[in-house]
Structures are given as structure tokens and as C-alpha cells.
């Protein structure tokens, strides 16, 4: 992927934050999702949001305007950003700047970002978490648990068409992400422009309603990925293409490695975007300096309330005192994510769940995209040619941030990355 960041967005943090907050996600009307609830083999449920080939999306939107041509802003075809993102973050401090107590940035920009792109998490349990407005509450309800307008609409519409024959793009979200994440809407719009359907399966507890089982989700859950993909395979006759964002990408790559050549019978190709393929390295990165100051607190403000809901469902599931005392994602994973999902502790979890040691086993067309200035994925931890099988293509542009890749003149758009990734996947058909 040939990517050059706009001159007015220097540095990984700005490219990450601005993309989530202010860049345009689509060219026409916003994708409208319809929801289907799947019962899981263990008596729980997951919610899947679908976007079909919407006849309302003009086919003329199938390609991006030339670089430098601005996207129309404020017209009737664009959903106001204020509907989902705070408008109080009009200006961002320079990268690395500290924030005085009482300023809204740490609670607004970071929380929205964490929520919106949600792959920021320290690979602690998963590198991406919060969605609507991370960590903030409305009426006493954690924002990450509130349903977006599109999710509310989705809940009232019928399920997917089992006879679908066009390609289906499956988007696995990041930490605390959902179909309302900026990248999910961007990928859905790009899929529609190609005449494809798109689906966003939510990991446990991420669709706006807490799940039932004594578990949540984690970055290495390739068994859950396998069950979801095979369910899609059973209900869709067309080609399946899967992309995972941050946490979702690590889990998807773990699945690709575990499935080997047999995976070709399920999907035509897979891609990971800004995924922490070395969870320990990413977990350490997000736990220090600017990342800990801004993002760790945002994640914990979202993750702790959900963990408390889980404890209310299953008394005695974990030590309440240790959870409340957790100040880092490492601590949180030690008390919650690791033990609930069969790991001894955080170190065991991050080691066993990481996809990087398994990339050489991938035997289907695959892409791993990582910006080299990703605030949460240290460049030294990125896979090299020696780590990858011949089926895995590595894209590592110098810039882009974490699931950012904003492009174009102010205020920018985020379609360049989804366009490039979808083009790679399409070439495998």
C-alpha cells in the first residue's frame, strides 16, 4: 500500500485520533445495518450486523476522487459527525504533549478514539476496545454499551438472506468495536460500492447488550472465529472474504494459521489491519508514557463496568477488589481476561494468543497491514519476511497510525485504506 499522510496530520497519534473523530467514512448515505442474532454452541449469543447491496448507494461512489479533491461536507447525504462523535475536540495538541488536569482532551478525544476505532488496547486482552464514546457515560450507562443509531435500526430488521451469492466481506472489529466504528462503516461502504454484501459479527458483549456466558472475548479466540466463519459459509453461497481490525485481525490470523490449507474451503482470502501480532510488545507499549496517560484509562473506564456486569451475572467469577484496583491493562487481563478464557495469567495469555509465531503456517491468501508509526504496535515487533509464509503479504507503510490512514485535504477521509485492502482481497477471487 502506497500511503502518504496529509501534511497537516503529522505523527501516529494525530493520524489515529483524527481519523476516528473527524475524517469522512463514506461518500454517500451512511451504511444501514440490519441485525441477526445467532445462538452460540455454549448457550450464549452474538449479534451480526449486515449491509447488503443497498440500491440507495450510487454506483458512482465506487471510486475515490483523485487525491487532493475534497469530499463534500455538510450536504444532506452525509450523516453529521456530531451524531456519534464529540464536537468538543476541535483542536488537538501536538503529538506527545501533556494535558493539564481538567482539560477535555483525555476524556473526549481519547475516549472517542478508543471507542471508535478500538484497537488500541494493550494487547492486554485485546487491542481495541471502546466504541460509541469510550469510557463516557450517558444517563449512567457505559457509553460502550449503548447502541448506536444504526445498531438500533438493525435490531428491528430481518435476518440475512441465506441465498446470497455476491461476495460477502466479513469485518471482525477491534477491542470494544462494533458496526458503528469508523473503520466498519468505511469497509461497509467500500463493499457496497463493489456490489458486495458486508457483515460485522460482534464479539461477545460488544453489540450493545451484555452476553450471557461467564466469558467475554479475547485477542486469540480463533475458535470463535472458526465458528463464525463456518456459520457464514453455511448461509452464503458466494465467496467469503474476511478482514480483522486490530484485536480482530490477530484472532483472524491465528485462525488462518490454525486452519492451514483447509481454510481455503471457508474463505477466499483474509487480511489484518493494524493488528498487534505480538501482544506482549503491544501491551508494553500501551502501558507507558502518552499511551498510558491517555488510552489506558479510557479502556479501563469502559472495560471495568462491563466486567462488573459480568460479575453481577456470575457471582464469584473473579476477585472484585483486584479488578477495582487494576490500573493497567496488564492488571485487568490478570484478573479478568486471562482466567475467564483459560489462561494462567496475562503473560500466558499474551504469549499463547499472539499470531506472529504462527504466521509461517498460513496457507491461504493473506495480507497483514501495519503502519510503522502505530502508537500501539512497536515497529520492532512487526513481522518480517522470515516470519511469514509465502501466502502472506506484508504491507508496512511508514505512516498511518493505528487504524487511521486519513487521506486528502482537510478534514480528510478514511476510505483509502479500506479501498486498498478490499482491492487486495478482490484480486484473490
Of residues 374, 381, 387, 391, which has the active-site annotation?
Answer: 374
Strands 240-245 vs 168-172: parallel, antiparallel or unpaired: parallel
Closest CA to 246 of 117, 428, 335, 392: 117
Residue 418 · residue 392 · CB < 8 Å: no
Residue 210 · residue 313 · CB < 8 Å: yes
Closest CA to 279 of 304, 249, 299: 249
Which residues are registered as beta bridge partners of 304?
A: none
Closest CA to 290 of 375, 370, 374, 373: 375
pLDDT (0 to 100) of residue 53: 65
Q: How far apart are CA 56 and CA 53, in angstroms?
A: 9
- Residue-wise pLDDT tens for the chain (429 aa)? 889 998 999 999 999 888 888 788 888 888 899 999 999 999 999 999 999 765 443 333 333 333 333 333 222 222 332 333 222 233 333 333 322 223 233 333 333 343 333 333 333 333 333 333 223 322 333 333 333 333 333 333 334 444 578 999 999 999 989 999 999 999 999 999 999 999 999 999 999 999 999 999 999 999 999 999 999 999 999 999 999 999 999 999 999 999 999 999 999 999 999 999 999 999 999 999 998 888 888 888 889 999 999 999 999 999 999 999 999 999 999 999 999 999 999 999 999 999 999 999 999 999 999 999 999 999 999 999 999 999 999 999 999 999 999 999 999 899 999 999 999 999 999
Residue 232 · residue 207 · CB < 8 Å: no
Q: How many CB atoms lie within 10 A of CB 60?
A: 9
Domains and CATH numbers, the chain: 12-426 (3.40.50.1820)
Name, in order, each residue with C-beta under 8 angstroms of 151's C-beta and a sequence gap of 6 or more. Answer: 33, 35, 49, 178, 179, 180, 207, 208
Of residues 23, 148, 219, 246, which has the active-site annotation?
Answer: 246
Q: What is the DSSP letter of 417?
A: H
**What is the signed CA dihedral for 123, 124, 125, 127, rounded to 10 degrees?**
-30
Q: How far apart are CA 24 and CA 139, in angstroms?
A: 28
Q: How far apart are CA 338 and CA 380, in angstroms?
A: 25
pLDDT (0 to 100) of residue 1: 86
pLDDT (0 to 100) of residue 223: 97
pLDDT (0 to 100) of residue 129: 32
Residue 202, CB-side half-sphere exposure with 13 Å CA sphere = 37
Of residues 111, 402, 407, 413, which has the active-site annotation?
Answer: 402
Q: Is 413 a catalytic residue?
A: no
pLDDT (0 to 100) of residue 163: 52
Grid cell of 54 as nine digits: 443497498
Q: Is this prediction's pTM over 0.85? A: no
232 phi and psi, to 5 degrees? Answer: -60, -40
Name, in order, each residue with C-beta under 8 angstroms of 224's C-beta and a sequence gap of 6 or more. Answer: 203, 204, 217, 251
Output the DSSP codes for 223-274. HHHHHHHHHHHHHB-S-EEEEEETHHHHHHHHHHHHHGGGGGGT-SEEEEES
pLDDT (0 to 100) of residue 348: 98
pLDDT (0 to 100) of residue 148: 38
pLDDT (0 to 100) of residue 297: 84
Q: Is 246 a catalytic residue?
A: yes
Grid cell of 3 as nine digits: 500511503
* Sign of CA pseudo-dihedral 161, 366, 407, 182: positive
Q: Is 117 a catalytic residue?
A: no
Amino acid at each position: 500500500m502506497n500511503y502518504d499522510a496529509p501534511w497537516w496530520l503529522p505523527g501516529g497519534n494525530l493520524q489515529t485520533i483524527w481519523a476516528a473523530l473527524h475524517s469522512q467514512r463514506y461518500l454517500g448515505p451512511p451504511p444501514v445495518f440490519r441485525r441477526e442474532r445467532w445462538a452460540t454452541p455454549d448457550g450464549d449469543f452474538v449479534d451480526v450486523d449486515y449491509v447488503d447491496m443497498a440500491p440507495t448507494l450510487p454506483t458512482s461512489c465506487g471510486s475515490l476522487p483523485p487525491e487532493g479533491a475534497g469530499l463534500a461536507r455538510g450536504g444532506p447525504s452525509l450523516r453529521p459527525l456530531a451524531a456519534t462523535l464529540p464536537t468538543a475536540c476541535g483542536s488537538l495538541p501536538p503529538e506527545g504533549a501533556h494535558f493539564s488536569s481538567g482539560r477535555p482532551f483525555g476524556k473526549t478525544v481519547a475516549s472517542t478514539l478508543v471507542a471508535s476505532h478500538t484497537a488500541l488496547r494493550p494487547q492486554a486482552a485485546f487491542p481495541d476496545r471502546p466504541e460509541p464514546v469510550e469510557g463516557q457515560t450517558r444517563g449512567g450507562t457505559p457509553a460502550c454499551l449503548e447502541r448506536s443509531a444504526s445498531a438500533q435500526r438493525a435490531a428491528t430488521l430481518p435476518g440475512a438472506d441465506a441465498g446470497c451469492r455476491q461476495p460477502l466481506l466479513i469485518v471482525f472489529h477491534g477491542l470494544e468495536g462494533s458496526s458503528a466504528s469508523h473503520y466498519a462503516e468505511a469497509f461497509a461502504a467500500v463493499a457496497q460500492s463493489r456490489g458486495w454484501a458486508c457483515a460485522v459479527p460482534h464479539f461477545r458483549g460488544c453489540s450493545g447488550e451484555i452476553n450471557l456466558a461467564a466469558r467475554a472475548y479475547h485477542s486469540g479466540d480463533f475458535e470463535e472465529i472458526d465458528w463464525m466463519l463456518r456459520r457464514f459459509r453455511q448461509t452464503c453461497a458466494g465467496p467469503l472474504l474476511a478482514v480483522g481490525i486490530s484485536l480482530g485481525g490477530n484472532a483472524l490470523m491465528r485462525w488462518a494459521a490454525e486452519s492451514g490449507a483447509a481454510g481455503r474451503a471457508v474463505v477466499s482470502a483474509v487480511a489484518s489491519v493494524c493488528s498487534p501480532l505480538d501482544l506482549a510488545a503491544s501491551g508494553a507499549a500501551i502501558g507507558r508514557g502518552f499511551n498510558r496517560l491517555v488510552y489506558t484509562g479510557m479502556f479501563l473506564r469502559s472495560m471495568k463496568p462491563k466486567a462488573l456486569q459480568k460479575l453481577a451475572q456470575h457471582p464469584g467469577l473473579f476477585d472484585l477488589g483486584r479488578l477495582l484496583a487494576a490500573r493497567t491493562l496488564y492488571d485487568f487481563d490478570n484478573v479478568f481476561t486471562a482466567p475467564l478464557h483459560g489462561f494462567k495469567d496475562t503473560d500466558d495469555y499474551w504469549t499463547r494468543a499472539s499470531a506472529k509465531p504462527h504466521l509461517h503456517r498460513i496457507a491461504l491468501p493473506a495480507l497483514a497491514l501495519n503502519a510503522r508509526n502505530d502508537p500501539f504496535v512497536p515497529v520492532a515487533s512487526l513481522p518480517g519476511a522470515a516470519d511469514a509464509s509465502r501466502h502472506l503479504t506484508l504491507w508496512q507503510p511508514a505512516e498511518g497510525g493505528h487504524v487511521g490512514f486519513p487521506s486528502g485535504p482537510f478534514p480528510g477521509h478514511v476510505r483509502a485504506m479500506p479501498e486498498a485492502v478490499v482491492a487486495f482481497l478482490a484480486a484473490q477471487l
